[in-house]
Amino acid sequence: MITSLPTPILVGVGGAAGALARYAVDRLLDGGRGSTFAVNVLGSTLLGALVAASPPAATLALAGAGFCGAFTTFSSFAVNVTRALDAGRADLALADAAGTLVAALAGVALGSALITGL
């Protein structure tokens, strides 16, 4: 059924769901660095699993570009790093930037491994 929908509609529906999920995580974790880190790592893990599963293009549009694209948040990550730098906390900025990058890449590897079998 979803394969009959136009790709922009699939991306929009997935994006709406991803944005709502992002908001829910933000509320659950009281916003800030923790929720930004969590959604970026969770979204990277999900996207890694999704890509490894090689789903139909419609599923990739809905769940990958749509849901994961809206769920993860590079802009909030960039703001957190910049604010830490502006506050004279280069140590926190570096830890946030490096930690998020390493954990997100590990999430992609984990998601892929869960699908392809370690």
Q: In terms of residues, how long is the chain?
A: 118
pTM of the model: 0.89
Asked if 27 and 91 count as a contact pair (C-beta separation under 8 A), the reply is no
Q: In this predicted model, what pLDDT tens digit does every residue of 55-98 receive, in sequence order?
A: 999 999 999 999 999 999 888 899 999 999 999 999 999 999 99
For residue 3, the model assigns a pLDDT of: 76
Q: At what angle do helices 90-116 and 32-53 cross, to 10 degrees?
A: 30
Q: Is 82 known to sit in a ligand binding site?
A: no
Kindly state the average pLDDT of the residues 15-24. 98
Considering only residues 17 and 31, tell me which one the structure prediction assigns the higher pLDDT.
Answer: 17
Q: Is 69 known to sit in a ligand binding site?
A: yes
Asked if 72 and 40 count as a contact pair (C-beta separation under 8 A), the reply is yes
For residue 2, the model assigns a pLDDT of: 76
Asked if 70 and 15 count as a contact pair (C-beta separation under 8 A), the reply is yes
Q: What percent of the chain has pLDDT over 90?
A: 88
Kindly state the average pLDDT of the residues 100-108. 96
Considering only residues 2 and 52, tell me which one the structure prediction assigns the higher pLDDT.
Answer: 52
